[in-house]
Chain A
């Protein structure tokens, strides 16, 4: 027996907004009988882009019904813009969490929402994107990559929990492993070329000149580079800045942010007396 939260049980036993919205102008249908769960979402969006009403029809287990019920509750009263931002994790969170094997129910909700919103925008129903990887449940490489990226998945088992892919004959497990590896590689931090000290100092000078000095000089102040020790940037302020203690902290922060952005992400800025 699954361990469901009280909120999942409550939404399953008393589903909110079951049925179809009359005069709906956003309809999304996902899933199939063969897969074991399906969801039809109908929305009525008013002229200002606000979701007036939301209803669902679900074929599926307790958590699929609860996820659909939760989604409609979350959508009512939201603008289309806000609705676009709802993730499958938001649906799961609304329910106080789902058993990991049941996360695909929240993904189904997210997919139905995407489908309904694209229907609202008048887009033609999306052609299937990508290649089918899991034949048993008809899951494509694009869907798997999306789930891996959005939910930070690392194993085949997790991919199965979120997308069902790999939950049948298991012959696609190698392909799923390869997809996970591909996404992980994309997300690995970009390797920066090594920065020589001379180049670093030159870039810091340039950045100070271009990004910081002009605004300081307007107020009668200035900043000077004293030294660079590793990633420590030692600066001194002059003129108006030097006596304005209140702005000291802000100034250091501003300079640090600019230098990190333009030169090297690990730089720290310290103010030293001239």
Chain B
């Protein structure tokens, strides 16, 4: 059975070109980039090139790029650095819909005596900017606000939010793990202080990430050790991963146009196809500005895990914000923050595309998903014919 991969916000396939660039560093070129001899030094030279490739995608300067092990490490580093260098500032501003790498860390910081403000969102996942402005106080050490939401694809106005923070002398960090490679980022034109990206979300391998730190920003390392990354992140470099990420960033810049045309059209086709065929369904965050590759659709009166496992029978890979798939007993914190009703939240499915998604795959999902919903509704105690009539009226 052919796999139809529609879960690119979870992880992506490694691009063949990326793998090709990496392979020599897993075979012949195993030297340590810190070594004095040419065998190591040539690796260092290519890491420098990868740093330039990453910087180019972000509109940054290469020495503002720190390689890390993942997006979570980058997020942790940014927030802890701000608290460590911020003297008496013990306040963190974030949002209700952050990735666990930020959200769970903030919960932990509360236990350690920090004050954390979570800015709410509206039903469409849009940030409450008034509340945000009011939340910035003289003791605020940092704002950490995701650029685009992993579950709904909703985009936050981070550049504007960063300016407001800068006016008040507050550091601004953004988790751009989902945004990088899908929408243009130009740090040269913004006042964002720190930004995280993750390799495996843009067709590089797992185990490599980046933290951008603007020149002149006070910084305190998270991982203390050797002089690697100019003393900002100890530990021998993940050379193959870094080379791969460099190549992936170069390709992402070239494919940005396709992402925002062909991929966006496929996403829209998928969304419309499903909404047309399945009554009592709606797009979560549909009223927000969104990433071109993501759709989050709720099918009322059915449960997400059951949908995913039936889709799995057709080789279709997707995610859900239902309680049973989150590993907790409540539906996703993102959907709850948006006030999505329980009848909808438990039956949410996230489909996220990539440049490798084909029209044929999209059409197969449009064909195969509606009967799955119908089957599950067939024995749902909440699914009543009246509900169906009501849906066709709206």
Chain A residues within CB distance 8 Å of chain B: 2, 12-13, 15, 18-19, 29, 33-34, 36-40, 56-62, 64-65, 101, 136-137, 160, 164, 167-168
Contact B313 A38 (CB under 8 A): no
Mark each residue of chain B from 358 to 394: 1 if its CB lies under 8 Å from any CB of chain A, else 0: 0000000000000000000011111000000000000
Q: Select B380's contact among A34, A59, A164, beta carbons within 8 Å.
A: A59
Is B237 part of the binding interface, using a Cβ–Cβ cutoff of 8 Å?
no
Give A68's nearest chain B residue, CB to CB.
Answer: B379
CB neighbours of B378 from chain A (8 A): 18
Is B305 part of the binding interface, using a Cβ–Cβ cutoff of 8 Å?
yes
Contact A62 B380 (CB under 8 A): no
Contact B379 A15 (CB under 8 A): yes
Given known contacts A58-B379, A61-B325, what 20 new A-B pairs fall within 8 Å (CB)?
A12-B309, A13-B313, A33-B343, A34-B342, A36-B330, A36-B331, A36-B346, A40-B381, A58-B380, A59-B301, A59-B380, A59-B381, A60-B303, A61-B303, A61-B322, A62-B306, A101-B327, A137-B329, A167-B330, A168-B330
Whole-angstrom distance between the alpha carbons of A56 and B381 in the complex?
A: 9
Is B263 part of the binding interface, using a Cβ–Cβ cutoff of 8 Å?
no
Residues of B216-258 whose CB lies within 8 A of A: none
Known: A18-B379, A56-B379, A168-B329. A36 touches B323 (CB 8 A): yes
User: What are 8 contact pairs spanning A and B, CB under 8 A?
Assistant: A13-B310, A36-B324, A59-B302, A60-B324, A61-B324, A62-B305, A136-B329, A136-B330
Is B328 part of the binding interface, using a Cβ–Cβ cutoff of 8 Å?
yes
Give B347's nearest chain A residue, CB to CB.
Answer: A59
Give A36's nearest chain B residue, CB to CB.
Answer: B323
Contact B305 A33 (CB under 8 A): no
Whole-angstrom distance between the alpha carbons of A39 and B323 in the complex?
A: 17
Whole-angstrom distance between the alpha carbons of A136 and B323 in the complex?
A: 13
Inter-chain CB contacts under 8 Å: number: 72
Whole-angstrom distance between the alpha carbons of A234 and B262 in the complex?
A: 94
Give B346's nearest chain A residue, CB to CB.
Answer: A36
Contact B381 A164 (CB under 8 A): no
CB neighbours of A56 from chain B (8 A): 379
CB neighbours of B342 from chain A (8 A): 33-34, 36
Give A102's nearest chain B residue, CB to CB.
Answer: B324
Least CB distance, A206 to chain B, in whole angstroms: 57
Contact A38 B381 (CB under 8 A): yes
Contact A59 B305 (CB under 8 A): no
Known: A61-B306, A61-B322, A62-B309. A38 touches B329 (CB 8 A): no
Whole-angstrom distance between the alpha carbons of A186 and B279 in the complex?
A: 53
Q: Select A64's contact among B303, B304, B331, beta carbons within 8 Å.
A: B303
Known: A12-B309, A13-B313, A59-B302. A19 touches B379 (CB 8 A): yes
Give A4's nearest chain B residue, CB to CB.
Answer: B309
Least CB distance, A162 to chain B, in whole angstroms: 12
Q: Select B381's contact among A12, A29, A168, beta carbons within 8 Å.
A: A29
Whole-angstrom distance between the alpha carbons of A13 and B309 in the complex?
A: 9
Kindly name the residue among B310, B313, B330 whose own CB sees the greatest number of chain A CB atoms within 10 A.
B330
Q: Select B382's contact among A15, A33, A62, beta carbons within 8 Å.
A: A33
Least CB distance, A119 to chain B, in whole angstroms: 15
Contact B328 A60 (CB under 8 A): no
CB neighbours of A29 from chain B (8 A): 381
Whole-angstrom distance between the alpha carbons of A38 and B346 in the complex?
A: 12
Give the 5 A-B residue pairs with the shortest CB-CB distance, closest first. A167-B329, A61-B324, A18-B379, A61-B305, A57-B381
Give B325's nearest chain A residue, CB to CB.
Answer: A61
Residues of B74-119 whose CB lies within 8 A of A: none
Contact A36 B303 (CB under 8 A): yes
Whole-angstrom distance between the alpha carbons of A60 and B346 in the complex?
A: 9
CB neighbours of B305 from chain A (8 A): 2, 61-62
Kindly name the residue among A33, A37, A167 whose own CB sees the greatest number of chain B CB atoms within 10 A.
A33
CB neighbours of A61 from chain B (8 A): 303-306, 322, 324-325
CB neighbours of B306 from chain A (8 A): 12, 60-62, 65
CB neighbours of B346 from chain A (8 A): 33, 36, 59
Whole-angstrom distance between the alpha carbons of A42 and B394 in the complex?
A: 33
Contact B303 A59 (CB under 8 A): yes
